Amino acid sequence: MSDQSAKSGKLPVESELNHQPWSVNDSSQLYGLGLWGEPYFSINSLGHISVHPKGADGGTLDLMNLVEEMEFRNLGLPLLIRFDDILEDRLERLHLAFDKAISQYKYSGNFQAVFPVKCNQQRHVVEELVSCGRRWHFGLEAGSKAELLIALSLIEDPEALLICNGYKDQRYIETAILARQLGRQPVVVIEQPDEVERIIVASRELGAAPLIGIRAKLASRSSGRWGRSVGETAKFGLSIPDIFSTVEALRKSDLLNELQVLHFHIGSQINDIAVLKDALQEAGQIYVELSRLGAPMGYLDVGGGLGIDYDGSRTATSASTNYSLQNYANDVVATVGECCNSHSIKAPILISESGRAIASHFSVLVFNVLGVGAVSTETPEISNDEPLVVTNLRETLERIELSSKSAVIDSSFLQEAWNDSLKFKDDALTAFRLGYLGLVERAKAEQLTWACARALIQCLPDDKSISEELKELRSVLASTYYANFSIFRSAPDTWAIEQLFPVMPIHRLNEEPTQLGRFADLTCDSDGKLERFINHGEVKPLLELHPLNDGEEYIIGMFLGGAYQEVMGNLHNLFGSTNSVHIRMTNTKNYQVDHVVRANNNSEVLEAMEHDPEQLLERLRIASETAIQRGSLKIKGARLLMDHIEASLRQSTYLNC
Ligand SMILES: *Cc1c(COP(=O)(O)O)cnc(C)c1O
């Protein structure tokens, strides 16, 4: 290890061990970009992230330039950039994969997909999907009345499906029946046994029937976070006995002719393709039985669950999948085809409700770093009469520094030295509590402990034999990067379900990241931090980052967060929505900004909590008048205070530096 790095106190990163100059390829490997970013993100020769919104050969944008050009348009950070071309490309890939599987397996049915609106209800997003999905008669899936209203108003294509899931009251069902007369294709999916009766009553009253589907509660095993979406205790779906009684009830009311769809959904982010195969086999058999019971059938809806490889590791772990989009399509088509063939039943039109797989890639959250905090590892000046604990720590530090010069490093010695330093630090705290140690000495003891940690890190062998405790030394000294965003607003799943998203700087990627850090967000919640990062199939607590340069912004991107994050995000600490923009390529080098959605301002988030900004201003005006009378505030100060408050009400909830 070089002396220079010891002096600057910087943490050595493994790559320092080989002395090749750092290249953008090293960055690509380090952050796994080459794996999860394909084909939309790469690094250019300037060390910036490059975006390829139409895939490998459809033009390129420099993400850093784009962010700067948005800032010039007064669209400050944090900023959500939506690449509508990526959304379209995802849609195209999904359909191509199924087309390919259908011809490969000589499947006699078609494929028709819908987008589950709950994944991202933003108007511009749903509108974009409906308009570019037109060529495939792409439809929508609604899980509530409000989502049904979105779907009903946006879909005009009479061939596109409108799948109605979720709990349904009489009005929901009647709306669907009438929408069929409007020329739409709504399918009312029976998810609860008591919905049959409501469908029967509504159909009788309106003298018309909806298209009907049944959601089956599959018994097949599942895994992962959403594994409980199947099995006897699942929240939605009909058990086999319920399916039988539903069919009989529909038959009695002359509605069996409208039963055309079998639906299942085994949970989001299926990690293991074997789980999907089991479910498909089971559902295939139920489909065959429903046909035999006399229902016309015609559609099999395989739900959502198509996973995203967030870390690019291609494993059946929670941030990844052990299959590709094509593998998925092949399995759906082949399994259903085989099942129907062997029972001589006409193969159904396959419906999929993939949300995550369509919407994850297209949006990138970009935020800036406001500052960095780290513990000081400088060795404090020595003074006369230092107390014993401090002397002990100095001696420990000397022993570590001495041993780092020897050729062979004994890792049990390192462990012992670290245990000693922690013990002395504890002793110092006890002595302080009891009044035997002053604040200055306590500070020295702490600083010496961190100096020991720094010295130890520099002699750690680069192998896996060292203990977990020693490995964690890096995290003791890691920096905290203060980030201008709220994870509760913009990345809620990282907090709620420990979801991993790829996170990395979007520039300086031709420069070695010499620091290890975690991110702390703007909220004053101790959970408001990012300290779990993708690591080739594993998780790491710290990310390799660059030291801040004076007067220069340090900008980080969070990728693959286009699904679920926006709507699940909340107003914790009253941080509102960020600015967002929709970008479309106009040719291979240029883009246009199709839509701008301004960030919530402080006035809006206050109103969301029933506060009245006008009243708030008036109260403060009266308080300032009183203070002026009292003589504690000058008129000029009062004016400035009111100006600040008025400006804050108009501005975004984030820091504008
Ligand atoms: C949530 C949901 C989906 C979408 O799942 P993804 O994993 O995002 O593809 C599809 N269908 C139903 C019924 C759902 O509840």
Q: Does ligand 1 come within 6 angstroms of the Cβ of 161? A: no
For residue 472, what pLDDT is reported?
81
Nearest atom in ligand 1 to the alpha carbon of residue 353 is 10
Mean pLDDT across the chain, nearest whole number?
93
- pLDDT tens digits, residue range 592-612? 999 999 999 999 999 999 999
Q: Please, are residues 469 and 449 in contact by the beta-carbon 8 Å criterion?
A: no
Stated pTM of the model: 0.92
For residue 224, what pLDDT is reported?
67
Question: How far does the centroid of ligand 1 lie from the alpha carbon of residue 617, in Å?
Answer: 45
If we measure between CA atoms, which residue out of 379, 390, 451 comes closest to residue 425?
390
What's the gap between Cα 272 and its chain centre? 20
Q: Please, are residues 179 and 188 in contact by the beta-carbon 8 Å criterion?
A: no
Q: Which of 114, 115, 117, 119 to mutate to test the pocket of ligand 1 (most atoms within 8 A of CB)?
A: 119
Q: Does ligand 1 come within 6 angstroms of the Cβ of 305? A: yes
For residue 471, what pLDDT is reported?
78
Is pLDDT above 50 for 8?
no
Is pLDDT above 50 for 9?
no
Cis geometry, peptide bond prior to residue 39 (ω within 30 degrees of 0): yes
- pLDDT tens digits, residue range 112-124? 999 999 999 999 9
Q: Residue 147 to residues 162, 171, 476: CA-CA distances in angstroms?
A: 11, 14, 47
Q: Does ligand 1 come within 6 angstroms of the Cβ of 318? A: no
Q: What average pLDDT does the segment 513-537 reach?
A: 96
Is pLDDT above 90 for 19?
no
Q: Does ligand 1 come within 6 angstroms of the Cβ of 303? A: yes
Is pLDDT above 60 for 143?
yes
255, two tokens: 């509605």
CA terminus-to-terminus distance, the chain: 38
Nearest atom in ligand 1 to the alpha carbon of residue 119 is 8
Question: What is the Cα–Cα distance from 227 to 275, expressed in whole angstroms?
Answer: 10
Nearest atom in ligand 1 to the alpha carbon of residue 118 is 1
Q: Please, are residues 139 and 114 in contact by the beta-carbon 8 Å criterion?
A: yes
Question: How far does the centroid of ligand 1 lie from the alpha carbon of residue 354, in Å?
Answer: 6
For residue 656, what pLDDT is reported?
86
- Lowest mean pLDDT of 60-74, 449-463, 500-514, name the range: 449-463
For residue 93, what pLDDT is reported?
97
Pseudo-torsion of CA 28, 33, 34, 40, nearest 10°? -130
For residue 230, what pLDDT is reported?
66
Q: SS3 for 308-345, per residue? A: CCCCCCCCCCCCCCCCCHHHHHHHHHHHHHHHHHHCCC
Taking each helix axis as running N to C, give the angle between helix 439-459 and helix 411-433, from 0 to 180 degrees, rounded to the nearest 10.
Answer: 170
Is pLDDT above 90 for 130?
yes
Question: How far does the centroid of ligand 1 lie from the alpha carbon of residue 414, in Å?
Answer: 51
For residue 572, what pLDDT is reported?
96
The DSSP-derived string for 126-185 is: HHHHHHHTGGGT-EEEESSHHHHHHHHHH---TTSEEEE-S---HHHHHHHHHHHHTT-E
Q: Please, are residues 215 and 237 in contact by the beta-carbon 8 Å criterion?
A: yes
Q: What average pLDDT does the segment 372-397 reach?
A: 93
Is pLDDT above 50 for 1?
no
Question: What is the Cα–Cα distance from 221 to 628, expressed in whole angstroms?
Answer: 72
What's the gap between Cα 394 and its chain centre? 46
- pLDDT tens digits, residue range 547-597? 999 999 999 999 999 999 999 999 999 999 999 999 999 999 999 999 999
Question: What is the Cα–Cα distance from 123 to 133, expressed in whole angstroms?
Answer: 15
If we measure between CA atoms, which residue out of 70, 30, 11, 31 comes closest to residue 557?
31
If we measure between CA atoms, which residue out of 189, 128, 173, 177 comes closest to residue 154?
128
245, two tokens: 């009684």
| Domains, the chain | 1-109+361-370+478-599 (2.40.37.10), 161-353 (3.20.20.10), 388-472 (1.20.58.930), 612-650 (no CATH)
For residue 223, what pLDDT is reported?
64
Q: Does ligand 1 come within 6 angstroms of the Cβ of 354? A: yes
Nearest atom in ligand 1 to the alpha carbon of residue 563 is 8
Q: What average pLDDT does the segment 33-46 reach?
A: 96
- Lowest mean pLDDT of 108-112, 412-416, 461-465, name the range: 461-465
For residue 4, what pLDDT is reported?
42
For residue 434, what pLDDT is reported?
96
Q: Which of 353, 356, 499, 565 to mutate to test the pocket of ligand 1 (most atoms within 8 A of CB)?
A: 353
| pLDDT interval class at 458 (50, 70, 90) | confident
| pLDDT interval class at 222 (50, 70, 90) | low
| pLDDT interval class at 220 (50, 70, 90) | confident
The DSSP-derived string for 201-262 is: HHHHHHT---EEEEEB---S---STTGGGSSTT-SSSB-HHHHHHHHHHHHHTT-GGGEEEE
Question: What is the Cα–Cα distance from 114 to 485, expressed in whole angstroms?
Answer: 32
Q: What average pLDDT does the segment 309-314 reach?
A: 96
Percent of the chain with pLDDT over 70: 95
Q: Does ligand 1 come within 6 angstroms of the Cβ of 353? A: yes
